[in-house]
Structure 1
Amino acid sequence: MFQNKTDLVPTYPGTIHDRLFEATYGHVKDGKSCEECGCTGQLLPRKRLQGDSPKPAIHFGLIASADTVMKSGKHRDVTARQEGVLAFEMEAAGVWDIFPCVVIKGACDYADSHKTKVWQRYAAATAAACMRAFLDNWIPSQTESGLDQKQSTGPWFYVPYPENESFIGRESILQKLQQQSMKPASKIALSGLGGIGKTQIALAHVYWLHKTSPDVSIFWVHAHNAEKFRQSFMSIAQECQIPGSFDPKADILLLLKRWLERKESGRWLMVIDNADDTHLFFGMPKESVSRDGLKDEGSLGKYIPDCAHGSIIITTRNKETASRLVKGKRPIEVEKMDQEESKQLLQEKLEDDGLDPEDLSTLSSRLEHLPLALIQAAAFIHEKSISASRYLQLLNESDQNFVDLLSNEFETVGRDSEAPRAVAETWILSFKQIRRQNMFASELLSLMSLFNRQGIPHEFLSDYAKKKQELELRGEIQLVVALGVLKAFSFIAEDKSGSFDMHRLVQLVTQKWLTRENKVCLFANQAVLTVSHIYPYGSYDNWVICSNYLPHVYAVLNIAATESDEENLGRAALLHNVGGYFLYKGEYEEAEACLIKAIEIRKTDLGADHPSTLTSMANLASTYRNQGRWEEAEKLDVQVMETSKTKLGADHPNTLTSMTNLASTFWNQGRWEEAEKLFVQVMETSKTKIGADHPYTLTSMANLASTYGNQGRWEEAEKLFVHVMETRKTKLGADHPDSLNSMANLAVTWKQLGRYHDALHLMQQSDEGYNRVLGPDHPHRINYQS
């Protein structure tokens, strides 16, 4: 064309005609060029040399198209910022609403009021050259033109995974899906712990449906994050060749939703996989966005199609998300496999007929019958060419080994390429989601992982919440909500008593997460302080609580903490109270070990003469006394008594207790006169200070009565024992260990006085009570029987 009409040959106008004014400077007069009307506004500086030769540049992005010319610098800049466009034009307006296309344009002005036609011919030529280069290198994906293509009418099968030929079991859940999924407008949620097999169940169902109902379209949507969700919708829309699906400006989510809701689209089933994040589908609370500065990527839930000819299956770790997406319907909870299913899965994956059935059963149990963990174990056994028994040995060597094996990556059918490929990482992903959704829930999970995993008392969590409340104004409602999040993710389960259990593998992985985040010591301190604050002293009235909480004591005391002053004193108080429990239960070696540690900490942090230190020393002396180690007991008793007299005074309750303990040591050594002197002093002071019926006064009376008995003064002993027994029965109850002790002492006294029938009857009552309350092997019962 240029050869025949040389006057049309474009020439480069040069930089002299390339002038860009400030956006706010308008053209002086319409209808004339800037030179003619004298535009003198400030030109924007350009990053180029005045004499440079032309160097064309190609820009990719959005172009704004309309049927009106853009002639305002201010409007141009505002629109560009708001819409993210890089150019304006009007010839292609509406074309891409009819068919997918690429617009290639050459820049000829700056879309302001200083428009000039100097550059138009050159711009057209550069656009044509660019188009020619594009066509020379473009390889069409289809031979037919877009205008001639016929829209596919389905049915469609868009599932990114092959069928899992080794899928095992889950018959009852599959039957529920088969019964419910094709009901009009059905919405079903599969919820459960990460790695429990939800995706595999959904995958097995869609392939069953594809074979039995080939007229039903099936679509699979990844919902791990907003980008995956949008990409899935776009891929489905383009697979189905929905008009407008190739338009970069189209709202692809709304486009697909409306298209699927049309009856002409036919019957369909959509699986929304890994829909774990509630905020993704329903948005974040406004206070979280403003307070924490978090990005709100919701609400995608409004784009999920809803119509009579379509069904939805949702897989999620989060029951809260499940409940909201299916509009309050109860989700199908996917539990761990049973023993037989677990063994079948291992046999299928290991492909070895010679496997020891006992090894398979043990391995299944150790991995909590969790499908993903079982597959991971089989992959490791295959890759490392080891036996199942050797894998078990590795698991059993240490918790660290256990976690390391759970962290080993592997490949399996039906997992998103971006999903973690190890059980540990799968759950750590859930931990991160919980932390984003509810930070307090994340803290509770961290704390709970350091207790014994079974029977975690609500009181522990409430105590932690109250301490947080003092700092951050959290209330009981925050605790309820946070625990709800953890239950929704199946990380904890609540029993009928209100206590909580944690999955064994979840506990180990949570501890690994804390190690990775360098937060083990932080939460170990909180765990020790929480148990220390709640665990009572081990007297008779507290035995049930002490026994129930004891596994948590062992758990927190075995974790290394930062050894801050607060944590040290909390640890010492806990050791002291547990030592008291063992002392009352007659488990003297355990009591001694706890009390020695408590004394060491208290001496270091509080001093040797602090009342708390002296109390622990007194209890340690009691353990020595009960083991017949009289010299060690006496040494401690004297030290405690003398220090108490000096620091607290001769009539202080702690001083009187130390005098009683020393008197008991004298008594056990047969030093009756020394024991009697101290017992009388303690009894008289107690009567004056706290009353004759006070439990402490009664104890001193009983001690004095025993001293009289050992001196053969049985009438004096009987008088005191009768008063003590009757008062204790009234005050404490007949089955209290102190009441039973009084009955046994009086029975011995009556025997010495020749009242054999009364003595035998009372001793039988005492023995039956000891057996019922303390158990047949308690040292007190054995002593009286002998």
Structure 2
Amino acid sequence: MAKLPVLPSGDEDDCQRTAIEGLGGVGKTQIALETAYRIRDVQPECSVFWVPAIDTTAFENAYRAIGQQLKVPGINEEKADVKALIKSVLGRESMGNWLLIIDNADDEKLLFGDTALADYLPFSRKGSILFTTRNHKLGLRLVESENHIIAVEEMSRDEALKLLGKNLKGSQMSDTRSNNALLEFLTNLPLAIRQASAYMAKEQISTARYLKLCNSSDEDIVKLLSSHFDDRHRYKNIQNAVATTWLISFQQISDHDALAADYLRFLCLLAGKDIPHSLLPPAGTLETVEAIGTLKAYAFISQQNESDSYDIHRLVQISMLSWLDGKGERQEWTAKVLERLNDIFPWPKHENQEEWIRYLPHTQHALQLRKRTDDEEATTGLLSKVGESFRNLGKYKEAEQMHRQALQLREKVSGKEHPDTLTSMNNLAGVLDSQGRYEEAEQMHRQALQLREKVSGKEHPNTLTSMNNLALVLGSQGRYEEAEQMHRQALQLREKVSEIR
């Protein structure tokens, strides 16, 4: 609290402005409220005014209430320009010291668009304005200096435990491990903690039981995050649920920055940590910088120092997925993500491992959502690439699972004799061979060889590759004469093809 420079500065050329910024639900309003009470105690002669910037009506009603409190002439007249009157009154030195708190200054259109509420902010060297905002860019525009922006730090674990237990009985928090795990899941976010505490108090369940609900499914998590609860610390007409709070921000981003909104849709379908910038759909350099800046401004994503990767807040990710479901866009965006991943994910080799190893967790995550998309071409390609990645990493069971799914999907989409299907068959045989399951591998290589001879002919390069693979698996079984015969046959055919060329 001591960091907040909110008392009038006394600078004859300045009216002190400060912004408290942070993710929706992080406790900005509570900090502003505590600041107001402390200033009352420290400097009782300083007037403190509170104005919610939720919409034009709330802003104007708060200004009218200020005018009535100050007995401003004409404030109650039907055609009075209430905002202009209060700006004028607070701009007079005779008003003395004052602090004006503008809460929920999140909507750029409201403040700088047609309504231009920012034009009615007063100016006085004896005055100070404190904003709370979710939007760093907007906060910077309001205070004009990074030095006057205070980012709300994450609540400590002790503070979070105290907040969690405020409405609960001791028996509901008897499991210390569950208490800590739940706070870890809720990322120590005050609004999420109050919401969870209210739900547990209402349903009379323990933190352990609530944690199980959180871990059961994304659908259950969304329901919990969307459940309304009474919170006397928040505005009566505002929905208090965490998910609902963030939906407002999602909509604001959609209205102001279309590319940022698309990036948020894209990012929520990937694993939440260490998302490489290169995975994002390409766009103009300046547009990309501004879009990423918007998402960071709302604290929906974070970037460590000057790294080329991002993290997306876990609860934001879940809420965003629910938003996509509600708008009927999840299937469309799952397909877009799979297509982008398939385009950029290289065929895994040792020399490009540094590249594909970074894409692997995000591709796995996206593939888990593939039931919501009809883009089977991209899905099959990714299944094969992930399977080969696991094979290169020595994770043969996982590799087999991926290659089997790829083969099944290839057969369904293209038929058993399609070249791509036979490639998938060859990949699966290879991973069976890597596990020492030579008889199964042999059977699959023979099947692939027969079908390739039928489809492409005996002299086709793919057929000769299958012949060579079969020879290798025969050799692995100690059947050296058969292996030699097969290798000789493949060599003769390759020489024949080379001579013809």
TM-score in same-fold range (> 0.5):
yes
Does residue 302 in structure 1 map to residue 119 in structure 2?
A: yes
For 2:44 and 2:497, the matched residues in 1 are separated by 91
Picking from 417, 424, 429, the partner of 2:248 is: 429
8 Å Cα contact 2:266-2:333 kept in structure 1? yes
State the 1:246 CA deviation.
Answer: 2.2
Picking from 268, 274, 286, the partner of 2:98 is: 268
Structure 1 residues 670 and 386: CA distance shift in structure 2, 3 A: closer
For 1:535 and 1:354, the matched residues in 2 are separated by 47
Q: How does 1:374-393 map to 2 (within 5 A)?
A: 374-393=193-212
Residue equivalent to 2:359: 549
Does residue 536 in structure 1 map to residue 363 in structure 2?
A: no
Query: Residue 176 of structure 1 aligns to which amino acid in structure 2?
Result: K
Residue equivalent to 1:346: 164
8 Å Cα contact 1:572-1:602 kept in structure 2? yes
8 Å Cα contact 2:68-2:75 kept in structure 1? yes
State the 1:502 CA deviation.
Answer: 1.0
Residue equivalent to 1:363: 182
Residue equivalent to 1:97: none
Residue equivalent to 2:429: 621
For 2:284 and 2:185, the matched residues in 1 are separated by 39
TM-score, reference length from structure 1: 0.59
SS in 2 for 1:221: strand
For 2:179 and 2:42, the matched residues in 1 are separated by 35
TM-score, reference length from structure 2: 0.92
For 2:408 and 2:60, the matched residues in 1 are separated by 62
Q: How does 1:122-201 map to 2 (within 5 A)?
A: 174-177=1-4, 179-184=5-10, 185-201=15-31
For 2:314 and 2:377, the matched residues in 1 are separated by 30
Residue equivalent to 1:476: 285
Query: Residue 168 of structure 2 aligns to which amino acid in structure 1?
Result: L
Query: Residue 141 of structure 2 aligns to which amino acid in structure 1?
Result: R
State the 1:685 CA deviation.
Answer: 6.6
SS in 1 for 2:146: coil
Residue equivalent to 2:132: 315
Picking from 469, 493, 501, the partner of 2:302 is: 493
Structure 1 residues 641 and 506: CA distance shift in structure 2, 3 A: same
State the 1:429 CA deviation.
Answer: 1.6
Q: How does 1:40-51 map to 2 (within 5 A)?
A: none
Deviations 1:523-576 (A, max 9, x none): 222222222222222221233333322221221111144543xx1011000011
Query: Residue 477 of structure 1 aligns to which amino acid in structure 2?
Result: L
Residue equivalent to 2:442: 634
Gaps of 5+ in 1: 1-173, 284-296, 467-473, 692-786
SS in 2 for 1:586: coil
Query: Residue 552 of structure 1 aligns to which amino acid in structure 2?
Result: H
Q: How does 1:579-658 map to 2 (within 5 A)?
A: 579-658=387-466
SS in 2 for 1:250: coil
State the 1:332 CA deviation.
Answer: 0.7
For 1:502 and 1:494, the matched residues in 2 are separated by 9
Picking from 125, 133, 153, the partner of 1:335 is: 153
Deviations 1:89-122 (A, max 9, x none): xxxxxxxxxxxxxxxxxxxxxxxxxxxxxxxxxx
For 1:317 and 1:476, the matched residues in 2 are separated by 25
Structure 1 residues 559 and 641: CA distance shift in structure 2, 3 A: same
Query: Residue 338 of structure 1 aligns to which amino acid in structure 2?
Result: S
For 1:274 and 1:375, the matched residues in 2 are separated by 19
SS in 2 for 1:335: coil
Q: How does 1:693-732 map to 2 (within 5 A)?
A: none
Q: How does 1:48-67 map to 2 (within 5 A)?
A: none
Residue equivalent to 2:86: 256
Structure 1 residues 489 and 568: CA distance shift in structure 2, 3 A: same
Query: Residue 143 of structure 2 aligns to which amino acid in structure 1?
Result: V
For 2:84 and 2:496, the matched residues in 1 are separated by 86
Deviations 1:716-744 (A, max 9, x none): xxxxxxxxxxxxxxxxxxxxxxxxxxxxx
Residue equivalent to 1:571: 379
SS in 1 for 2:273: coil
For 1:541 and 1:688, the matched residues in 2 are separated by 32
Deviations 1:436-493 (A, max 9, x none): 22233222212211111111221221xx3x4xxxxxxx53332322222111111111
Structure 1 residues 181 and 560: CA distance shift in structure 2, 3 A: farther
State the 1:248 CA deviation.
Answer: 2.7
State the 1:364 CA deviation.
Answer: 1.9
SS in 2 for 1:194: coil
Identity score, percent? 37
For 1:671 and 1:615, the matched residues in 2 are separated by 25
SS in 2 for 1:219: strand
For 2:303 and 2:491, the matched residues in 1 are separated by 50
Structure 1 residues 418 and 502: CA distance shift in structure 2, 3 A: same
Does residue 241 in structure 1 map to residue 71 in structure 2?
A: yes
Deviations 1:765-784 (A, max 9, x none): xxxxxxxxxxxxxxxxxxxx
Structure 1 residues 375 and 578: CA distance shift in structure 2, 3 A: same
Structure with greater Cα Rg: 1
> How many residue pairs are counted as aligned between the two chains?
492
SS in 1 for 2:3: helix
State the 1:684 CA deviation.
Answer: 6.8
Over the residues paired in the alignment, what is the CA RMSD in angstroms?
2.4
Structure 1 residues 353 and 563: CA distance shift in structure 2, 3 A: closer
State the 1:180 CA deviation.
Answer: 4.6
8 Å Cα contact 1:576-1:598 kept in structure 2? yes
8 Å Cα contact 1:588-1:626 kept in structure 2? yes
Query: Residue 206 of structure 1 aligns to which amino acid in structure 2?
Result: A
Residue equivalent to 1:510: 320
Does residue 210 in structure 1 map to residue 40 in structure 2?
A: yes
State the 1:646 CA deviation.
Answer: 4.6
8 Å Cα contact 2:52-2:102 kept in structure 1? yes
Residue equivalent to 1:668: 476
Deviations 1:645-697 (A, max 9, x none): 45445454323321210110221232323322443454577689899xxxxxx
For 2:90 and 2:496, the matched residues in 1 are separated by 89
Structure 1 residues 403 and 657: CA distance shift in structure 2, 3 A: same
For 2:481 and 2:416, the matched residues in 1 are separated by 30
Structure 1 residues 279 and 689: CA distance shift in structure 2, 3 A: farther
Structure 1 residues 530 and 344: CA distance shift in structure 2, 3 A: same
Query: Residue 370 of structure 1 aligns to which amino acid in structure 2?
Result: L
Structure having the higher helix fraction is: 2
8 Å Cα contact 1:625-1:633 kept in structure 2? yes
8 Å Cα contact 1:203-1:414 kept in structure 2? no
